[in-house]
Amino acid sequence: GGEAMRDVAKLKKLQSEVDDIVIQASNSLVLAADELSNVHARQLARLRRARLVGLDTRCLAMVQCLQLEVSYLEELCRVVGARAEKAEHSVADMQLELEHARSRLREIESQRPHTPLEDTLD
């Protein structure tokens, strides 16, 4: 029974690690989305100002930089989202393994003969 117990403990530890990863990924995603909306807002404000000054080349260059920044942040959101999804799959796999280990443990426990001494310890 000790080995199955160790398996369960290991799986529980792994699952909490994966849960942490999912939480971190979700937080990163929220931050990236906030940053993305800030960039969009700044881009719109700059475009409005740029139109007022006749879209000189400096403003156009700034707009192009912001478009790159937006593309980068969109890609970052995509990557973080994919990581979160992968971590969720890992959690699901680990839950299956955990369930398997638990049923193995139950099987072993049911086959093990109980001694009177152990009954008093339960």
Consecutive 10-residue runs of the chain (122 residues): their mean pLDDT? 84 87 85 86 82 71 86 87 86 89 90 69 57
Determine if the pTM surpasses 0.95. no
Is the separation of the CB atoms in 111 and 10 below 8 Å?
no
For position 103, what pLDDT does the model report? 92
- Rounded CA-CA distance 51/65 in Å is 17
DSSP state of 115: P
- Rounded CA-CA distance 25/87 in Å is 9
For position 118, what pLDDT does the model report? 58
Q: Where in the chain are the domains?
A: 2-111
- Rounded CA-CA distance 25/23 in Å is 5
Residue type, 116: P
